[in-house]
Structure 1
Amino acid sequence: MFQSVQPYKLILFLLFFFSHSFVFGQNNSLYVLDSTTKIPVQFAVVQSQDLKFSQTTDENGFVSLNKLPENTRRLVVSRVGFQAKTIDMKELITSKSMVYLQPKITSLSEVVINASANNGIFKTISDLDIHLRPINNSQEVLRMVPGLFIGQHAGGGKAEQIFLRGFDLDHGTDINISVDGMPVNMVSHAHGQGYADLHFVIPELIENVNFNKGPYFADKGNFTTAGFVEFKTKDYLENNFVKAEGGQFNTFRGIAGINLLKTQPDRRDQSLYMATEASYTKGYFTESQNFRRFNGVLKYHGKLSPNHSFSATATGFTSQWLASGQIPERAVKANLIGWYGAIDPNEGGQTSRYNANVELLSHLNNGATWRNQLYYSKYLFELYSNFTFYKEDTVNGDQIRQKENRNIWGYNSTYQHQHAVGTLLAETKAGVQVRYDDINNLELSRTKDRTINTQNMMFGDVRELNAAAYVSEKVSVTDQLDVTGALRFDYFRNHYADHLADTTMSSNSNFISPKLNFNYRLNDNLQLYWYNGRGFHSNDTRVAVQQNGKKVLPPAYGTDLGMVKKLGKKFFLQTAIWYLWLDQEFVYVGDEGVVEAGGQTRRFGLDVSARYEIISNLYADLELSLANPRALGVAHSESYLPLAPRVTSVGGLTYRQRKGWNGSLRYRYMADRPANETNTVVAEGYWVVDAAANYTTQRWEAGLSIQNLLNTKWKETQFDTESRLQNEPAAVSEIHFTAGTPFFARLNLTVFF
């Protein structure tokens, strides 16, 4: 019965609820706009001078004034990146409830510690941050999350390997990634569980990136153990633009963004734009990558009424590439291949993703907001890899093909309301999330030269449903102390039809996740926080059905104890001591088509983030992450977690101006780490420096970005793998690696109109 589910019926049913949200309305409201572009300002804080009223604007610059005390005379409106403004209530009425903020580069001396560490100064990456870093694609924006590292090992088209908080996350096993509310992680993926490919996002269209660490947030479900990252794309383009890039290794990229609607002179309350991206690179490897990527976006955002706004987005993405894969150290030392060479130059693949995403935001009579979202994704994936060369098949080689054809349907609904509990201020957040994956022809095969199929290893169809509900209640116990309690429930239904064995199997499982968080603001210069929560990551459907739904949602228990401190006028420091424990889990190894049992693990560590304004417009930052990851239930000498990072750090200098010169000089450091359980094989660390400089005018911008400024010779990804070369008598186990980017310079020119 499960496999006959028709998702469009569910979508039609949920659309019924969309129509009913229009019965609500309110008149008491305020809009905050950018005085230059007339674009709504999101995340602006609107407060009464006595702080008895405090609200944050949504993506329309909207804030409800229904809860504003009657005797309020003045409001203060502020946001990082804008000049704060104090307005008289009488002035507000005569200005048609619109407030215009003047953009500026904010000094750290103006930033105060706000009431929630969750929304602190280190939890959001802005479009300006992205603008000042050498970035080739949206996947590289992940590098900007403090403590998060990525590594490419298959030619640029495959999703990068991710590392965070003592985890080798593979391609996304324990980090929840989303774009405009749509999930990026792929469950029961052909290559690996949680596979997260962000290449369908155009970097220039990213408005901001919110992130946090740990399993402490009720609206974040599957894969949220190490943390989450959510991308928000622009609702409005400030200007039409055309951008061209060119660089070493025959690298070319072109982007264009065009507004399709005329705007009002005093307020942009709707937008329709389209954007396209095309890129090509031969690559720095000996064998040409011939990497090609195409992206297209069409997005509408506008107000349907004073209390309802609507967004609709359609995107298309496709890419093809060749890859040099992971090469054995012995082949390089013996001069069989060069540092950038390949054993099997036929690795690589092709992938595409097409998305449709609609969202309705309604403001209700009681001052609450209600978001309803529907999304659909069509996803195709085909990957060719060769990790062991001639170990399994001494004649044809060990090349494998992983392939799938996937449809994803989803629905998200979120209700958020600030209200009073007696004399206390409280905020309720509740939601429902439904995701259905329909995966056809999920394949793992042995191949030769991509064209000859030598062995069918896995072949079947997956149907996976995840339905969840959550509720969170934040109570301001005092002006200084906030307590947030939350509960989340997840239900999974897994079905697998094995075409090779001609069998079908199904299973059911569920999971309850409680959370309890404390934020205590001692004063304007110091805040303490203590977060606690239970989370999980799901395992592959092909594992779930074999285990009859048991132990396939392994729990993760975490706690963070930290502080945010302002030292002097221009120095911010955030530190956190954290602990994370994971239970028994079964892991589907997509490259081999087998199930491996993993044991319990624990990780603890220290995160440090620092920001300092050296002089006006010149900022220094430092991120340091220390972790001690270990397996439990085994001998101490055999308890190392392979490839788990132990010491990482990023930092640098950034010069920011809205016009004229700006740029950055940054480093990335990862220390040596164990490559096997006994630490007898070591994955070498690296230190890489990147730089970027731009000159901006009203009509155009020119820039230069350099990756690996010092031309360091480094290994981007490393694995302790047993492989056999064609003429070797036996297999050898050693480090296999993908060479990191050498000195790589790119020029860019953007024209605004």
Structure 2
Amino acid sequence: MLRTVFVAGSLLAAASCAASDPGMAVVQVTGQRETATDAASAGSVGAAEIAARPLLRTGELLEFVPGLAVTQHSGDGKANQYFLRGFNLDHGTDFATFVDGMPVNMRSHAHGQGYSDLNFVIPELVRRIDYRKGPYAAGDGDFASAGSARMVLADAVPDTASITAGPHGYRRALLAGTRDGLLYGLDIQRNDGPWTVPEDVRRMSGVLRWSGGDRDDGWHMTAMAYRNRWQATDQIPLRAVAQLGRFGSLDASDGGRASRYSVSAGRHGPWSGGRVELNAWAVRSSLDLYSNFTYALDRPEDGDQFRQSERRMMLGADAQYAWRGTLAGLELDNRAGVQVRSDRLSPVGLYTTVMRRTTATVREDRVRETSAGVFAESSVQWLPWLRTVAGARGDAYRFDVDGRRAGATIATPKLAVIAGPWRKTELFFNAGHGFHSNDARGVVDGVTPLVRTRGVEAGLRSELAPGLETSLTAWRLASGSELVFVGDAGTTEPSRASRRHGVEWNTQLVRGPWRIDLDMAVSRARYTQTAEEGDQVPGALERMAALDVSHAPAGGRWSAGFNVRHLGPRALVEDGSVRSRASTLAAARIGFRFGERTRLTLDVFNLLDRRASDIEYYYASRLPGEARAGLPARDDVHFHPVEPRTARLTLSHAF
């Protein structure tokens, strides 16, 4: 889907997509920005569109990707739950996310493979989000089978201070601005939430970014810091609602601590007749996560709480070079690159705990995981109406867990065919292979290191009328191994091979101060290997729809927005006999500007006050009272409720 951003009738300028995304190019046409992509399911959103939509959680930045839904099944210090193209992506597996060129997905993570925690991001500092779906770009490697999103930070923002207040102890203070090429941002939040056990979120994010040059020839250096502490109300079984209420907890000591510190640097510009982009980064992060999903199933006396913990250091760099050439009289746009990454976990562990006190070590490991990837792709304009992009990528991995070593390599070809435009309509065909890596601790025990995926999609994109754009995509994706959630461990493990297919329809209308976005998607996910329990993939979202409407008159004092998201039911067990409930949530925003510098904004979440679930699972558990009575475990639906209707008021001032 092609997404361009208009504010008061003009386009918000952004830096070149080509500098950060090898599959996307940007051209300037009569004061507007047009985004040329290689797939109907790829696009870009800008800062104005991001600023216009209310966000209950930072992770909802990814909901700007059409068809992607973001929920939560635990405390707000934890990574979100993501759904896209028939995947319950858990906390990020099979969807690759990058911030300022740094990968967010964590390999061999203590809680889940591909864990993507976006809580460190300050949304007001995100200049652009470039997204694509499917494994069709040579620049995308690990975790990108369902798609990828790249968040690009701003080099400069207006000097602004804002304060936000809401019920349940919600408080947020933001200070951001730019001085002599140095961007700064500080975001401090507190929140108890509607839970019986106050969430007591204490979060701090900070950014310093020094940059120079311009979109054609520039550089940047960025430092980011993030710390968070919280209590958590995890999912509870339906049978406990009468005892606890919807917002109750079965273990008041669940929660965690997280931190992330990073430094990065980048350089882009002309070199040797082409264009080069260089990035390097270092990240130090930590997590201590206390969870209890089965309550008193395994340890009736003390309870089943456990701690997943890790201390991680990540180092990485990438280099890309783009140049033009000719072959047999045809013009070629070429790109090649190399990406390296090293993760060191010292340690990563799983421990049994009681009230956050460690009682035993289940396992504790030192992990080193290193990868190197190379890719190349070439775009050829065969005819005025026919273009192809052919690419290939190769990746090599080394796994080391306490001296036990393993290695793996994989090659993934890619192809895109673009026909048109005819009457402002383009046709797209994409095919390619992708992969996700598995946890190093499983790899050294014999689990497949790199799981191949194979995808194909066909789509069209058209400008039906001035300001009215639409895209339609049919897709299919096969995976060599499915990762599924395990309730009693709070993590994922490899399962059977699977196949998915679906259809997506996205439409955008921009008329004067009005903007309307409509996204709809249906999908079907099945295991390809037969088993007695059934062939449906648990948690696979079958349908979703989202509508976003905003009104921002040029020079006007008032602005408003409304969005609604529908998630259909999904199978919770392989035979489909237990299914989740559908949910429909709405949010609204109204803003008033006092002069040129001061603005008051009211956001209302869950506008209709629906009693829906953010997430639902089906597994066996035993309540403490059941354990004392000597009752056996019971299979039940375990859910985490959406928050009730919540209003937040923000006062911001530019200085």
Give the structure-2-normalised TM-score: 0.93
Q: Is the 8 A contact 1:681 1:734 kept in 2?
A: no
- Number of the residue aligned with 1:48: none
1:534 equivalent in alignment to 2:433:
yes
Question: How far 1:287 moved relative to its partner?
Answer: 1.2
Size of the aligned set, in residue pairs, is 637
Q: Distance in 2 between matches of 1:426 and 1:655?
A: 42
Q: Is the 8 A contact 1:621 1:652 kept in 2?
A: yes
- Aligned-pair RMSD on alpha carbons? 2.5
Structure 1 stretches lacking a partner, 5+ long: 1-33, 45-55, 65-75, 86-105, 262-270, 498-503
> Pick from 567, 582, 586: which aligns with 1:670?
567
1:512 equivalent in alignment to 2:421:
no
Relative distance call for 1:443 and 1:551 in structure 2 (3 A) is: closer
1:299 equivalent in alignment to 2:209:
yes
5 Å-filtered alignment, 1:156-305, equals: 156-237=76-157, 239-261=158-180, 271-303=181-213
Question: How far 1:553 moved relative to its partner?
Answer: 0.8
Q: Distance in 2 between matches of 1:726 and 1:745?
A: 36
Q: Is the 8 A contact 1:404 1:442 kept in 2?
A: yes
Question: How far 1:596 moved relative to its partner?
Answer: 4.8
- Number of the residue aligned with 1:724: 622
- Number of the residue aligned with 2:456: 559
> Pick from 634, 642, 650: which aligns with 1:740?
642
> Pick from 24, 29, 49: which aligns with 1:129?
49
Question: How far 1:136 moved relative to its partner?
Answer: 3.8
1:525 equivalent in alignment to 2:424:
yes
5 Å-filtered alignment, 1:359-508, equals: 359-366=266-273, 368-451=274-357, 453-497=358-402, 504-508=403-407
> Pick from 331, 355, 362: which aligns with 2:240?
331
1:582 equivalent in alignment to 2:489:
no
Question: How far 1:632 moved relative to its partner?
Answer: 1.0
1:42 equivalent in alignment to 2:22:
no
Relative distance call for 1:495 and 1:586 in structure 2 (3 A) is: farther
Give the structure-1-normalised TM-score: 0.81
Q: Secondary structure at the match of 2:383?
A: coil
Q: Distance in 2 between matches of 1:742 and 1:328?
A: 19
Question: How far 1:43 moved relative to its partner?
Answer: 5.2
Q: Is the 8 A contact 1:411 1:434 kept in 2?
A: yes
Q: Is the 8 A contact 2:82 2:89 kept in 1?
A: yes
Relative distance call for 1:121 and 1:645 in structure 2 (3 A) is: closer
Q: Distance in 2 between matches of 1:121 and 1:581?
A: 18
Relative distance call for 1:745 and 1:585 in structure 2 (3 A) is: closer
Q: Distance in 2 between matches of 1:445 and 1:226?
A: 32
Cα displacement string for residues 213-253 of structure 1 (whole angstroms, at most 9, x for unaligned residues): 0000111100010000110110111x211011111111110
- Number of the residue aligned with 2:223: 314
Question: How far 1:593 moved relative to its partner?
Answer: 9.1
Q: Secondary structure at the match of 1:528?
A: strand
Question: How far 1:419 moved relative to its partner?
Answer: 3.0
Question: How far 1:698 moved relative to its partner?
Answer: 2.3
> Which amino acid letter does the alignment assign opposite residue 217 of structure 1?
A
5 Å-filtered alignment, 1:59-70, equals: none
Q: Distance in 2 between matches of 1:244 and 1:596?
A: 42
Using the aligned pairs only, state the percent identity.
Answer: 30
Question: How far 1:607 moved relative to its partner?
Answer: 0.5
Q: Distance in 1 between matches of 2:471 and 2:641?
A: 34
Cα displacement string for residues 486-520 of structure 1 (whole angstroms, at most 9, x for unaligned residues): 010000000001xxxxxx31101001000011111
Q: Secondary structure at the match of 1:143?
A: helix
Q: Is the 8 A contact 2:513 2:554 kept in 1?
A: no
Structure with the bigger percentage of strand: 2
Relative distance call for 1:604 and 1:391 in structure 2 (3 A) is: same
Q: Secondary structure at the match of 2:246?
A: coil
> Pick from 234, 254, 279: which aligns with 1:347?
254
> Which amino acid letter does the alignment assign opposite residue 641 of structure 1?
V
Relative distance call for 1:407 and 1:637 in structure 2 (3 A) is: closer
> Which amino acid letter does the alignment assign opposite residue 14 of structure 2?
Q
- Number of the residue aligned with 1:78: 28
Q: Distance in 2 between matches of 1:507 and 1:684?
A: 43
Question: How far 1:308 moved relative to its partner?
Answer: 4.7
Q: Is the 8 A contact 2:38 2:418 kept in 1?
A: yes
Q: Distance in 2 between matches of 1:382 and 1:637?
A: 35
- Number of the residue aligned with 1:4: none
> Which amino acid letter does the alignment assign opposite residue 396 of structure 1?
D
More displaced stretch, 717-726 vs 420-429: 420-429
Q: Secondary structure at the match of 2:503?
A: strand
Relative distance call for 1:588 and 1:327 in structure 2 (3 A) is: closer
Question: How far 1:388 moved relative to its partner?
Answer: 0.2
Q: Distance in 1 between matches of 2:237 and 2:492?
A: 26
- Number of the residue aligned with 1:17: none
> Pick from 676, 685, 689: which aligns with 2:582?
685
Question: How far 1:594 moved relative to its partner?
Answer: 9.2
- Number of the residue aligned with 2:607: 709
Q: Distance in 1 between matches of 2:244 and 2:490?
A: 30
